[in-house]
Amino acid sequence: MTVVELGDNLDSCAKVPNLKAVEFSKDLRFGLQNGKRFGPITAAYKTFGKLNKARDNAVLVFPTLTATQQAASEKSNGTVFPGWWQEIVGEGKPIDTRKFFVVCADHFGGCYGSTGPSSTNPDTGKPFGLNFPGFFIKDMANVTMEFLRQIGITKLRAVVGASIGGLLSLELAALDNAFAEKAIVVGASHRVSATYLALNYIAREAIMLDPAWNSGNYYGAEFPERGLSIARQIGHVSYLNQLILERKFGRQPVNGNFKQHVSLGLQYQVESYLDYQGKKFCKRFDPNSYIYLSKAIDTFDLEKEFGSIENAFSGSPTEFSFITISSDNLFLPSDTKELHSKLAECGVRSAYNGINSPKGHDGLFLEHEKIAPIIRKALKE
C-alpha cells in the first residue's frame, strides 16, 4: 500500500511566491478577547482567480495548522509551486479559480508573514516571543474578517476550512452570520476531542522542555530543533490511522537489516520516517507559533463561548456542509454529526457527509477524490 507523505506535500510549498500583505490596527484599535488592544497587525495572504465586478465571488480558504498560503498550485517565473490542497483548489477543481476569487491568508499568530510570536515587537525592536498576547480562535477569525474588509471584501460566497481551518470557518460564521453564504467544514467540529487536547499538551511539553527553547527566547540563538521535531512526530502519528502505519512500515528494520539487540539509534523504518519528518518541519515552522496555535485549538468550544449551538447559529442564513473522516481520532465524526443535528434543529441548512476511510485525520488531504465532489456540489447549490 502506497501512502502519500503529507509532510512532503506541505514542505514542497513552504516557499510562497507573489505573497501580499496588509497592515491594520496601527492605532491599536483592534481588541482581543482578553480585553487587550493590539497592533499593528500584518496579514500575509495570497489570492487566486479574479474578483468580479459585483465582488460576490470570493471564497476564503483557511489553511490547516502548519500549511502556507499556497493552497493552489502556481507557476511563477518558470517555477511550479505546488499547493497543499491543489486537488481541491485551482482551475477546473472543486474550488474553481476560473469562477471564484480565492483568498488564503496565514493565521494570526503564524510564521508565514502574518503577525505572530516571531514578529518584531515595535516596543523593543526584538521578536515578541512569549510577550506575544495569548489569543483564541475567535481572535483569529476577527483578524481575518478585518483583513478581508481591508482588501474590500465584506461578503463571501463561501468560507472553507479543514482541521483548524474548519474551526475558524465555524467561528467566522457564528460571529457574523451574514458574512458567508456557505461554510464548508472538513475534519472539524464545535469542539476538540480529549485525545487532541492530550496530544497537543505533550507536543508543547516536548518543545518547552528543550533547553534551547529558553522560555521562548531562542531567536538569534540556538533553535529548539529537538523539541519541535518531537512535537511534529507526535502530531504526525496522531494524523495517521494505526492501520496506515502498520501497512506502510510494520516492524521493518532500517536498511532491511534486523539485529536482535537493544539499540539507542534508529532501528525501525517507522522511527527513521518520523525522524525525517520532524527535522524537515523544523526548517519551516516556528516553535512559539506551534505553542500558541495549539492552545487556541484547545480552548475552542462554541457551546461554551455562545452558551449553546442555538445561540451561535439560530436564524443564520449560512448553509453548512460538513465532511468527516471515519477514522479521524482528533475530530470525532460523532461530534460533527451532533453539531449538524443541532443546526438542523434550529432551522439552519446543513448537510452531513461521512467519508469511510482508514487514513485518519490526514484523510482531509489524502482522500481528495472523495472530498472533491462533495465540495463541488456544495458550491454549486
Report residue 260 as a C-alpha cell. Answer: 536482535
pLDDT number for residue 367? 95
- The answer to whether 331 and 192 have CB atoms below 8 angstroms apart is yes
Check residue 346 and report its DSSP letter.
T
- Give the helix ranges, DSSP H, for the chain: 6-11, 137-150, 164-175, 194-208, 225-239, 242-248, 269-281, 287-298, 302-306, 309-313, 333-345, 363-366, 368-380
* Sites in the chain below the pLDDT cut of 50: 1-7
What is the reported pLDDT for 305?
A: 97
Angle at 208 between CA 210 and CA 107, to 5 degrees: 120
Determine contact, residues 37/140, Cβ cutoff 8 Å.
Answer: no
Q: What is the CA radius of gyration of the chain?
A: 20
Q: Report pLDDT for 218.
A: 98
Quick count: other Cβ atoms within 10 Å of Cβ 139?
Answer: 21
Start-end of H helices in 57-213? 137-150, 164-175, 194-208
Active site residues: 163, 328, 361
Report helix, strand or coil for 89.
Answer: strand
The structural domains of the chain, ordered by start, are 6-192+302-380 (3.40.50.1820)
pLDDT for position 3: 37
User: What is the Cα–Cα distance from 44 to 251, expressed in whole angstroms?
Assistant: 43
Q: Tell me the three cell numbers of residue 268.
A: 525501525
Distance from C-alpha of 176 to C-alpha of 186, rounded to nearest angstrom: 20
Q: Please, what's the b/e burial string for 267-284 (b: 16 or more CB within 10 A of its CB; e: otherwise)?
A: bbbbbbbbebbbebbbee
d(CA 64, CA 285): 13
pLDDT of residue 260: 63
- Dihedral of alpha carbons 201, 205, 206, 208, sign: positive
- Decide: pTM greater than 0.75: yes
Dump pLDDT digits (tens) for 304-338: 999 999 999 999 999 999 999 999 999 999 999 99
**Torsion 211-233-294-306 (CA) sign:** negative
pLDDT at residue 269 in the model: 87
Strand partners, 184: 160, 321
